[in-house]
Amino acid sequence: MIVIGGDAIVDLIDRERRLFEAFPGGSTVNCALAVGLMGSPVLYVSNISTDSFGDLLVDRLSECNVRLRPNSRSEACSSLAIVSFDEAGNPNYAFYRKETADREVPVVDIVKSFPQQMLVFHVGSCALIPREDQDAWFEVLQAAKQRGALISIDPNCRPSITKNREEYLKGMIRFFIEADIVKLSDEDLNYLYPEWTDNALEKFTEAYTPQLCVYTMGADGLVGLTRRGVSVRVPSVLPGVIADTVGAGDSLHGALLSEIERLNLIGDQMAQLDANQLSEILTFSAQSAGINCTRVGCQPPTRQEVNSIFGRSEKHR
């Protein structure tokens, strides 16, 4: 099973004339939706509010076959993100997360909810910005690692709500050191290490040695680099008219984790992937992100939709 925790946020997307449409959001919720729709077993462990926005999150997670941690509903309010778009169609976020449900991290309860067989534990994004939240999730990560789970991290950096970049980076280094899988964008890496002007991805993987690092570059595609030095570049795809890019990276990451589960890549097997195997996994992940971009908000595809749209064989179940 894949276990995911982190930011559970409702996106209020600006539809012009000050009309906002509510969508389930938060990087880790989006990733869990993508994993569930792909058919992989997934448990979401963060607290979710009992307010109407929390109901929206719970309903959507349930629709997408995501299990919830028992007794995870909280009386605290839901986190919100106001989403607007620039002239190029890129989303901009304004976050409201003070004393919200997803910022409560009951470490003991979360660890107790871990299934006996846990292949991956994933966490990231806004949940790792406030230091107290970061510390709590690091405790959860350590418990997951002790259970033998692969550790997946997506920093999905948010400079607008990060008060101290140096302190944030110092805390995040702990997560990168423990990670087996890191997915990060060119914007993330530029923010974390602006001094790395040349070969930034190679410097990152040399510093932290994850089994697999997936580096996304928007319309320019993505690169996967394994610990053993196998490097594959895959183009981005867009099977239709673009709606927006909200949740594209999360859909990609969810598809990646689902492929890891489908192939049962345990231990250090990700590090041993050859170029053809890695290319196939990343191509599937990029296709999933491309489909998401043809839909409003984060609406990841099912495995069957990816297979149908791109003519993939049924071996991808």
The domain ranges of the chain are: 2-312
pLDDT along the chain (317 residues), means of 10: 97 83 94 98 98 97 97 97 80 90 98 97 96 97 97 96 95 98 97 94 96 96 96 96 91 98 95 97 98 92 96 62
Strands 222-226 and 212-216: antiparallel
Task: Give residue 317's pLDDT.
Answer: 47
Q: Which residues does 79 contact at the CB level (< 8 Å), separation at least 6?
A: 7, 8, 9, 10, 26, 95, 96, 97, 100, 101, 102, 103, 126
Domain 2-312 classification at class level: alpha beta
pTM, 2 dp: 0.94
Task: Give residue 85's pLDDT.
Answer: 79
